Amino acid sequence: MVTLKDLAKELNVSVSTVSKALSDSHEISEKTKEKTLELAKKRNYIPNNTAVNLRRKSTRTIGVIIPNIFNHFYTKILSGIESEAKKNNYKTIVSISNETLLSEKEGLDFFSNGSVDGVLLAPSDETEKLNEVEHFFELKRKGIPFVLFDRYIDNLNVDKVIVNDLESSRNVIQYFLDDGRQNILVVSLLKNLKIGDLRKQGALLDDTIDLLEHDEEIGFEIELREKIENKKIDAIFALDELSGIIALNLIRQKQIDIPKEVAIISFSQGILSKYSYPKLSIVNQYAKEIGAKSVELLLERLKDNDKPVETKMIKTSLEFNQTTL
């Protein structure tokens, strides 16, 4: 590894001269700058990031804790975070909690030790279910700037980016009703998740609406099959993509006509629903925006730690597809 010292020695100048020359300081003569630049290039000099960070007391890096990397929704958020961060000359470092509380805590510990300037975080399933939130409060106590996205935690007074789930759900149901559909079934694989709560609340607009929720795919499919066989249903609203796809496939398997006999709409972020046949109509969540907004909020917080806490809401949109509606 070649350091400033090495260059200085070879150029017969001091370390500080080299440092200034490389950062194009006006204090240094053009001639010296030239020579220095040339040698730096020749020797493949790269500033040691660790040393720079230590000196600057900033890393220009954002830590991201994400529950699940197999969920297209989160990869899209991640991609939004990445590009917004890059735009602002920040790097991103990702820790995947795999929906476990332990991993989430480990990730936070790692991020708390000066590796990053701030943290973007979506709590894991487990964290939500156990409602174990002490580590978030501790993070705050430690004074580490962070932004919560997608999922939320009660009473935690930090910057947040959320989605208008409740309202979106209402809109979907209203759409079905306006379309003359009377026997609506709401399905979900989000049992016990806070995020599911809001969607559910919005969906159960009146008591004619039936609900089937489960926390596991196989069981869900079995129960759904029964429901479809035993009950008249003319519309299905899936609160998550997976239950939407499973419902779609089941309906097709039963040779039930979509959308004439049963219409389907699902919360989704695109990948499974895009390549399903027929294509699902979806409630699009603009995951990229969620990521970008989170970065934005964090950078503002980094600039001014005293500014009042903010909550940004990202609106969903209904994306109709005539083959399922």
Partner DNA sequence: ATGAAAGCGCTAACAG
Partner DNA sequence: CTGTTAGCGCTTTCAT
Residues forming contacts to a copy of itself in the complex (CB under 8 A) are 1, 44, 46-51, 53-54, 59, 69-70, 72, 75-76, 78-79, 82, 91-96, 110, 112-115, 138, 141-142, 242, 245-246, 248-249, 252-253, 271-272, 275-277
Closest contact distance (angstroms) between CB of 273 and DNA is: 48
Binds DNA (CB under 7 A): choice among 24, 41, 44, 56: 56
Q: Specify which residues 153 forms β-bridges with.
A: none
Which of 169, 67, 179, 175 lies closest to 127 in space, CA to CA? 67
Q: Which of residues 188-227 bind DNA (CB under 7 A)?
A: none
Using the minimum distance from each CB to DNA, give the nearer residue, 38 or 226.
Answer: 38
φ, ψ for residue 131, nearest 5 deg: 50, 45
Q: Of DNA, a copy of itself, none, which one sits near residue 31, judging by CB under 5 to 8 A according to partner kind?
A: DNA
Q: Does 3 bind DNA (CB under 7 A)?
A: yes
Considering beta carbons, is residue 82 or 128 the nearer one to a copy of itself? 82
Query: How far is residue 86's CA from residue 77's CA, in Å, rounded to a whole number?
Result: 14
Judge contact between 284 and 314, C-beta under 8 A: no
Residue nearer to DNA on the CB measure, 50 or 322: 50
202 versus 243: smaller Cβ distance to a copy of itself: 243
Nearest to 36 by CA among 15, 56, 54: 15
As a whole number of angstroms, the distance between CA 95 and CA 107 comes to 6
27 interface partner picked from a copy of itself, DNA, none, CB below 5 to 8 A per type:
DNA
The site partner of 112 among a copy of itself, DNA, none (C-beta below 5 to 8 Å per kind) is: a copy of itself
Beta carbon of residue 275, minimum distance to a copy of itself (angstroms, whole number): 5
# residues near DNA by CB under 7 A: 30
CA atoms of 141 and 184, how far apart (whole Å): 47
* Alpha carbon distance 69, 76 (integer Å): 10
Whole-number minimum distance, CB 278 to a copy of itself, in Å? Answer: 8
Around Cβ 10, how many Cβ atoms within 10 Å?
A: 14
- Position 115 contacts DNA (CB under 7 A): no
Tokens for 35, please give them: 């020579």
Q: What is the closest distance, in whole angstroms, from the C-beta atom of residue 147 to DNA in the complex?
A: 24
Best CA proximity match to 318, nearest among 274, 289, 286, 294: 286
Residue 286: both structure tokens together: 């603009």
Residue 60 CB, nearest approach to a copy of itself (Å) = 10
Binding mask 57-96 for DNA (x = CB under 7 A): x---------------------------------------
Among 5, 42, 142, 307, binds DNA (CB under 7 A): 5
Identify the residue among 42, 47, 201, 225 touching DNA (CB under 7 A).
Answer: 47
The residue whose two tokens read 């046949």 is 277
Instruction: Pick the binder of DNA from 9, 43, 51, 309 (CB under 7 A).
Output: 51
Q: For residue 237, what are the CA distances in angstroms to 28, 202, 203, 241, 259?
A: 68, 11, 8, 10, 13
CB burial readout 67-78, b (16+ within 10 A) else e: bbeebbbbbbbb
Site for DNA in 21-40 (CB under 7 A): 22-23, 25-32
Q: State the DSSP string of 107-161.
A: HHHHHTTTT-SEEEE---HHHHHHT--HHHHHHHHTT--EEEESS--TT--SEEE
Nearest approach, Cβ of residue 37 and DNA (Å)? 13
Binding site for DNA (CB under 7 A): 1, 3-5, 12-17, 19-20, 22-23, 25-32, 47-48, 51-52, 54-57
